[in-house]
Structure 1
Amino acid sequence: MDLNEALKELFSLERRAADRFTADPVEGVMPRTFGGQVAAQSLWAATLTAPRGRPAHSLHGHFVRAGRSSAPLDLDVRRVKDGRGFSTRHVTASQDGTTVFELTASFHDPEEGEDWQPSDGVDVPSPEEIAPFQLPPFIIRLAPHIDVRPVAPLAEEEEDYPLRHPYWIRFSSPVPDPGLHACLITYLTDIGLVHASRRPGTSFAYSGFASLDLSVWFHRPARADAWLLHTMEPVSNHGARGMTMGGMRARDGARVTSVAQETLLRPDRGGPAS
């Protein structure tokens, strides 16, 4: 299956009413749906109801329950606001009448303004200098179409996954629909975030991991099929919750997104990991 067919499988939503959509189940993946997929599909549903030419500039989502890949996903959009320059949408993603994800997204008409960011770029090798890393397709549906180049590869004694930040990432084939790029960048932001919330070098053992929420701010236009440097760092880990913050930069150093996520890190009472 090529990328366009895979995108059609995920983002060809059935419109049941003006603001109600359904995403068909995707076969051949793990029973639990990848969180970035649910967030991306929810943002796409919101985008389909926003004024044309008004792109998303931020989203805030809460993972309420684990989604099931074997069940359709119903996406109900509420039009909170349509102003002169901004639109706000609230999306409830549910399966069999039970909410699994809540999203609030804001859209903004492009405007002229100052173009500035701190000069705190990350000095890393170019993606062409780094060997590719194969994401596990049984977890991430679009993995065969994602090119990942980790700056700090895993040690030989470590497992093949999870992936460590920072890393270069992009979709390996062109994405023709301009409206999908923010959704696909949202999809990419959720890769490796659970592991990133752990204290670096820790041997502490955990019995359960789960994404609790995800926030993404889109600062500048960006393409999901162009190289993006994704860097996330732990901020806090307390009370079985870990926090990461970071974002993505384009090859020229321009910061295109900021990302924050809180993660459930439930300790394993059996003791430290080996």
Structure 2
Amino acid sequence: MGMSGVLADIFALERQEEDRFTIRPVPSQMERTFGGQIAAQSLRAAQLTVAPGRPVHSLHASFLRTGQPTKPLDLAVRRVRDGRGFSTRHVTASHGDRTIFELTASFHVPEDGEEWQPTGGLDVPGPEELTSYELPAWFGGVPNFDVRPAGPLLLDELFPLRHPFWFRYRDPIEDASLHPCVMAYISDLAVVDSSRAPGSTVSYSTAVSLDHAVWFHRPARADEWLLYSMESVTNHGSRGMARGTMHTLDGTLVASVAQETLIRPAG
């Protein structure tokens, strides 16, 4: 698989039935399970029920309840559709009988078609010009990501990382189907803060992900540099919206991401 340590444990799905999986608790100092981890695990479960040669092209997910890092995660896959060109899967993630997350993923047989994306380079320094940022130990102890912020950190905050940033998994990932899972994992990183109004100094009593979507436009490797950039779209009624992209070093657009968040002001 080409993974070691905590990330290998995250993707260690144990098949209980043909379309049901369990993942043992992964040691963590976090009070709640990182949302990107649950999304990545749910996508992996969906992949394991789809015929080879059908890579994922989109996922749409809802965060329903807080995940508990100390409890096993049960993943139930429903085979919604298998057509000539597309397969659809619905995944329910739960702790026992308590549903915490739902995901719908769509898979597409590769086809030939018109090739286009917006022109223009990446207006940030390259990763070799930047310094690595070590994710806090309480974040989950995932040591093999190299994350390099393209802008300043907010050092007076508990989680100072902000978009945009470069990332890659340091070890080679041999299984091609795992690259979108790792991208899904990172896709929830520092997104809630990105949904805040630019320049906002409001303190929040609640700041969590509500729903999340990723579109995988082109094949990409998560063990090679990807630039992840998210920015706020709107804020209203204690909800925020962030939208962004992932690009390769040469500027190829490989994924788009959108997330709605719950950001309740304190007081």
Bin for the TM-score computed over the shorter chain: over 0.9
- Following the alignment from structure 2 to structure 1, what is the Cα–Cα distance between the partners of residues 6 and 47? 19
Cα distance change on mapping 1:13 and 1:230 into 2, 3 Å: same
3-state SS in 2 of match to 1:138 = helix
1:251 maps to 2:249: yes
1:83 maps to 2:75: no
Say if 2:6 and 2:26, in contact at 8 Å, map to a contact too. Answer: no
1:188 maps to 2:149: no
Say if 1:248 and 1:255, in contact at 8 Å, map to a contact too. Answer: yes
Q: How many residues align?
A: 266
- Following the alignment from structure 1 to structure 2, what is the Cα–Cα distance between the partners of residues 98 and 6? 25
3-state SS in 2 of match to 1:178 = coil
1:196-253 deviation per Cα after TM superposition (whole angstroms, max 9, x unaligned): 0111211111111111011000000001111000010100111000000011000110
- Following the alignment from structure 1 to structure 2, what is the Cα–Cα distance between the partners of residues 50 and 15? 14
Say if 1:62 and 1:101, in contact at 8 Å, map to a contact too. Answer: yes
Structure 1 gap ranges (5+)? 270-274
Aligned counterpart for 2:212 among listed residues 208, 214, 223: 214
Q: Tell me which amino acid in the other structure corresponds to 1:228.
A: L
Q: Which residue of 1 aligns with 2:137?
A: 137
- Following the alignment from structure 2 to structure 1, what is the Cα–Cα distance between the partners of residues 114 and 62? 32
Q: Tell me which amino acid in the other structure corresponds to 1:18.
A: E
- Following the alignment from structure 1 to structure 2, what is the Cα–Cα distance between the partners of residues 78 and 34? 24
Moved over 2 A (4+): 2-8
Task: Name the stretch that deviates more: 41-50 or 202-211.
Answer: 202-211
Q: Tell me which amino acid in the other structure corresponds to 2:171.
A: S
Q: Which residue of 2 aligns with 1:146?
A: 145
Q: Tell me which amino acid in the other structure corresponds to 2:25.
A: P
- Following the alignment from structure 2 to structure 1, what is the Cα–Cα distance between the partners of residues 146 and 115? 29
What is the aligned-residue identity percentage? 57
Q: Which residue of 2 aligns with 1:200?
A: 198
Q: Which residue of 1 aligns with 2:159?
A: 161
1:20-79 deviation per Cα after TM superposition (whole angstroms, max 9, x unaligned): 000111123313100000000000000000111210000000000010000000000000
Say if 2:154 and 2:160, in contact at 8 Å, map to a contact too. Answer: no
3-state SS in 2 of match to 1:104 = strand
Q: Which residue of 2 aligns with 1:175?
A: 173
Task: Name the stretch that deviates more: 144-153 or 32-41.
Answer: 144-153
TM-score by structure 2 length?
0.96
* Cα offset, 1:160, TM superposition: 5.6
1:104-138 deviation per Cα after TM superposition (whole angstroms, max 9, x unaligned): 00000111111110114331111000111111131
- Following the alignment from structure 2 to structure 1, what is the Cα–Cα distance between the partners of residues 3 and 151? 27
- Following the alignment from structure 1 to structure 2, what is the Cα–Cα distance between the partners of residues 14 and 114? 40
* Cα offset, 1:3, TM superposition: 4.0
Structure 1 residues 50-61: aligned runs within 5 Å: 50-61=50-61
- Following the alignment from structure 1 to structure 2, what is the Cα–Cα distance between the partners of residues 177 and 192? 26
TM-score by structure 1 length?
0.94
- Following the alignment from structure 1 to structure 2, what is the Cα–Cα distance between the partners of residues 191 and 155? 15
- Following the alignment from structure 2 to structure 1, what is the Cα–Cα distance between the partners of residues 20 and 29? 25
